[in-house]
Structure 1
Amino acid sequence: MKQTKQIAVGGVKVGGGAPVAVQSMTNTDTRDADATLAQIEALAGAGCHIVRCAVPDMQAAEALRTICAKSPIPVVADIHFDYRLALASIEVGVQKIRLNPGNIGGADRVHEVVRAAKARRIPIRIGVNSGSVEKEILARFGGPTPEAMVESALYHVKLLNDCNFDDICISIKSSSVPDTMRAYLLAHEQTDYPLHLGVTEAGTEYMGTVKSAAGIGGLLALGVGDTIRVSLTDDPVKEIYAANAILKAVGRNDDGINVVSCPTCGRTRIDLIGIAKEVEQRCASIHGKKLKVAVMGCAVNGPGEAREADLGIAGGAGEGLIFRKGEIVRKVPQDELVDALMEEIERS
C-alpha cells in the first residue's frame, strides 16, 4: 500500500498510514452557532472525526469563532471564491480550509491565504468535482473526464506549491462511480498527497449509500484513500453510520461491533429480520470493543457457520441459542434473545 504525506487537522492525523478519518458536513445555517454545534455534537457521537461547515458570508465566518471554540472535533471552513472568507475563518480558529486557489483571484490573494494558513499551521483541501473543472481543461479533454478532473486538481496544487505550501489534501469527486474511481486511481499514481474520498451528489440514503459503498469501498479495498465522506441527501449523522459501515466492510476499521447475519431461508422459525435490525441498531453506538457478532436463523447450522464470530444467536422455533466462538452458552425464548445477546456483549 502506497503511503501518502501526512497532514494534521487539529488533533486528527490524515494520511501517512494513519487510520482513515471519517468526515461529514453540517447542513445547518452556520450563522446559527447553537444549531450548528448541536449537529456537530450528534456527528461526533456517531463517530465523526472531522466536520466541515459552509462559509457563505462574513457572519458565518464570525460564527465559526464560537463553533470552533466549542466543537468536540476539528472544524473545516468550506470556502468558495472569496479569499476574505478564508482569511476570516483562519483568524477565528478553523483547523482546515477547503478552497480551490485558482478560484479566489490573483496570485496575491493566494499568497495571503497561504501566509495565514502557514501561520496557524493548518492544511488546505483542494476539492475538484465534475462541475468545477476549468473551461480550458474541459475543452482540452472534451469534458469533465477523470483525466480532466485530475489535471484541474494538480493545477490548484501547483498554485499552492508556487507559494511554497505543501500541507495539502485532495478530493476529486464525480456523481459517476466509475469516473470517481478512475480519477482517484490516477491521482494516487501521480501524487503523494492524502486523498479525501467521496462520490458527489450521490443521492438519498439508499442510493447514496450504495454508490458510496461501491466507489469509496472499492478504492479503500485497493489501498487508495486517507479520509472519507459519504454524501447523502439526508441527516448528516446517517453519513457517519454509512462511512463506518464501509470501513468495517473493507477491513479498515475494527472498532465497535461488526454484526453479520444470514439472509434467512425456509428453515427460519423466528423473526430473524426484526432481530437482526434490532441488534444492529443497539450495537451501532458501542465503541471501544472489537467484536464480531452473528445473528443466524438456524439453530442447527448457525453456531457452526458463524464459528468465527465472538458471539452470536441462532434461532429455533420461538426460541434461540446464545453461542460464543461456536460453543452454545444457553437457550432463551425468542423475546429474550436480543437482551441476552446484549448482556453477553456487555460482559465481553
Structure 2
Amino acid sequence: MKLLITGGAGFIGSALVRHLISHTGDEVVNVDKLTYAGSKQALAQVLASPRHVFEQVDICNRSELDRIFAQHQPQAVMHLAAESHVDRSIHGPDAFIHSNVVGTYTLLEAARQYWQALPAARQGAFRFLHVSTDEVYGDLGDSSASFTEETAYAPSSPYSATKAASDHLAHAWRRTYGLPVLTSHCTNNYGPYQFPEKLIPRMILNAVQGQPLPLYGHGRHVRDWLYVDDHVRALRIILERGGVGQTYNVGAHNPRQNIDVVRAVCRLLDELHPQSRPTGPYGTPVSHEHLITHVEDRPGHDLRYALDAGKLQRELGWQPQESFESGLRKTVEWFLQRPRMQ
C-alpha cells in the first residue's frame, strides 16, 4: 500500500515508518512539521529509501495537504500527528487545540475531498486510521476495572480533552460523510527515540548524569506500558484487518506504578552503567534509586489507566512480543549507547 502517515518524525510515528520500510513492501508519504519532539535522526535509516518520501508540512495547512493527496495518491491515512505531553498542555493549551483539534479537522476535510473524488473501487479500499490515547477515558481511580472500547469519554487534562475532541471529529466524519475511519487507543509507549520529557527516557538520562529523578506525588500512579514496536505492529494490523467504524484498544496488560517503573530503570542502570551510581555517606556507591526525588503532583493527575486489549487480540490476532522487562532493557541499552541522540 501507499500510506500517508502524519507525525512520522515523532516517537511513535518514526517507529511506524521504520517498521513499514524494513518489514513490509509499503510506500510511505511522511508528513511532519518537525516540532521540538520530531527528529529526522529517528528516520536516518529510511530517508534514502525510494519507498519513503518526507514532506515537512503542518497538518493545519490545507493547501499543502491538498497538494500532497493529489501528488502522492495514498491508499490510506494513518494519523498520528499530535501534541502529546500533559504537562505542556497544562501550561500552554493553545498548541494542543491547534494541532490536535484544528489539525485533525483540516486533515479529515482534505482526506474527505480526496476520497470522494476517487473511483469507486479505490474509494471502497481507502482507510483512515485515527490513532488516539487511553487518556480520553479519564481516571479509573482505585477501582480494578479496565477501559473497553465502549467506555464513555471523561478526559481530565487539556491534552486528553483535545484528543477526545479529535476522536469525536473522526467518528463524525465517518457517520456524516461516510469516510472509512478506524480508531485505535493505546497505553503508555516507551522505547528508542522517545523525547526525554517522558518518564522513562527522562529517568535514564537524569540518572546517568547524577541528577535527581523527579517523581510526581507519591509515585503510585498506575499505567500500562507497551513497547513502541509492538504498538506499530498493531497499527498496521488494524489498518489491514480492522473493520471500518471500529475502535481497537492497544495495550500490553502490563500495569505498573510509576515508582516501580523508575526503580526498574534504576536497577538496570546499576547493572549496565555502574559508573554513574551515586555515592553514599561513606563514599561507597549506592543504587541509582537514591536519586529518586518526590515532587509536587501535577494538577488533575489521573491515578490509574488500564486498557482491555482483548478485542484486538481476539479479532485481529495481535499479541505484544516484548514483556515489560525485555522492552525496558532494550530501551535502557539504546539510550546508554546514544547519550547525545536527544
- Taking structure 2 as the reference length, the TM-score comes to 0.32
- Taking structure 1 as the reference length, the TM-score comes to 0.32
Question: Radius of gyration: which is bigger?
Answer: 1
More strand by share: 1
